[in-house]
Amino acid sequence: METITTPAGIELAFDRYVGGDAGTVILIGGAFGYRKFPKMVRLAERLAETYRLTVINYDRRGRGDSSDSPGDFRVENEIDDIAALVEAAGGSAALFGWSSGAVLALLAAARVPGITKVVAFEPPFVVDRKNFVPAADLQVRLHELIAADRRAETAKFYLTKAMGMPRAFTAIMRFTPMWKNMMATANSTAHDWAVMSPYMRGKPLDAAEWSTVTVPTLVLSGGRSGALLRTGAEAIAAVLPNARHCEIAKLSHNPDIELLAPAAGGFLAEQADDDRFGSANP
């Protein structure tokens, strides 16, 4: 484990996987994610071993071994964290984001110098009212639960009210090995909601808002994921000025890394002026 301290005094913990000469990519997890999550570890290993990328896999603030800013959940904070990591990487890096981490990656790409590419895996934009739409005032109750440190309730609340999971599914999850880790990261979900709340209103995305995300971007979705995630991926790819969308037939939001890594790694490891990857669905 390595650490850096950001200009705001946040300590960020990360693991560095040294690959080869294909550049650096920073991995950004989604809600309840953390750097030791097995699938994130496996993705880091594959990108380094097979695609010669140096991978920085970090704990977002409030998770794992990183510190937090209790009560201060502004998106700008996490963008500043990414800027500090890019600087630590030598001033240049690509970003890979998963779920809310994908949206955070896109927001950072518009504001942080030195970001070269983005892979956005299933950013959960809610662009119509055909499926689940979270309540507009969700953060009021979420912040109350976090302030009271009621982690089990916070996890259940976020899963059902922010992510739209069925209550029966969350009840089952309480008896799985992953529940302990979900409770450990539950209080960080306010950071995820700060990222996602403007973009889960059931309204089309505003192309003008995303016009400054000009870096080459690959938006990935899975054929086995729900309609909401597939629609959101298509919607953001359509408004970004330099993006492609790929849907991988057998992939889901809980991805098979052996399916995800070739798509992400192939795009990230190509030279910026190489146009070969991303125009077709794998």
> Is residue 93 domain-resident?
yes
> Is residue 246 domain-resident?
yes
Q: Are residues 89 and 209 in the same domain?
A: yes
- Rounded Cα distance between 168 and 140, Å, is 24
> Is residue 37 domain-resident?
yes
pLDDT tens digits, one per residue of 117-129: 999 999 999 999 9
Can you read off the two tokens belonging to residue 70?
């209790």
Q: Are residues 145 and 47 in the same domain?
A: no
What domain count does the chain have?
2
Looking at 154, 178, 196, the residue that finishes a domain is 196
Q: Are residues 79 and 215 in the same domain?
A: yes
Q: CB–CB of 121/98 below 8 Å?
A: yes
pLDDT at 178 exceeding the cut of 70: yes
Q: Are residues 164 and 79 in the same domain?
A: no
CATH number at residue 50: 3.40.50.1820
Q: What is the pLDDT of residue 185?
A: 97
Q: What is the pLDDT of residue 279?
A: 34
- Rounded Cα distance between 225 and 247, Å, is 10
Q: Are residues 31 and 87 in the same domain?
A: yes
Percent of the chain with pLDDT over 70: 96
pTM: 0.94
Q: CB–CB of 81/111 below 8 Å?
A: no
Q: How many CA atoms lie within 13 A of 156 on its CB side?
A: 14
Q: Which of 222, 195, 32 is nearest to 125 (CA)?
A: 195
> Is residue 180 domain-resident?
yes
> Is residue 130 domain-resident?
no
Q: Which domain holds residue 171?
A: 138-196
> Is residue 170 domain-resident?
yes
Q: Are residues 97 and 224 in the same domain?
A: yes
Looking at 196, 215, 240, the residue that finishes a domain is 196
**Mean pLDDT, range 62-68, rounded to an integer:** 97
Q: Are residues 114 and 254 in the same domain?
A: yes
Q: Are residues 165 and 69 in the same domain?
A: no
Looking at 196, 224, 244, the residue that finishes a domain is 196
Q: Are residues 159 and 118 in the same domain?
A: no
Three-state helix/strand/coil letters over the chain:
CEEEECCCCCEEEEEEECCCCCCEEEEECCCCCCCCCHHHHHHHHHHHHHHCCEEEEECCCCCCCCCCCCCCCCHHHHHHHHHHHHHHCCCCEEEEEECHHHHHHHHHHCCCCCEEEEEEECCCCCCCCCCCCCCCCHHHHHHHHHHCCCHHHHHHHHHHHHCCCCHHHHHHHCCCCHHHHHHHHHHHHHHHHHHHHHHCCCCCCCHHHHCCCCCCEEEEEECCCCHHHHHHHHHHHHHCCCEEEEEECCCCCCCCHHHHHHHHHHHHHCCCCCCCCCCCCC
> Is residue 275 domain-resident?
no
Mean pLDDT across the chain, nearest whole number?
94
pLDDT tens digits, one per residue of 26-54: 999 999 999 999 999 999 999 999 999 99
Q: Are residues 101 and 219 in the same domain?
A: yes
Q: Are residues 191 and 224 in the same domain?
A: no
> Is residue 281 domain-resident?
no
Q: Are residues 92 and 153 in the same domain?
A: no
pLDDT tens digits, one per residue of 158-177: 999 999 988 888 888 888 88
pLDDT at 266 exceeding the cut of 80: yes
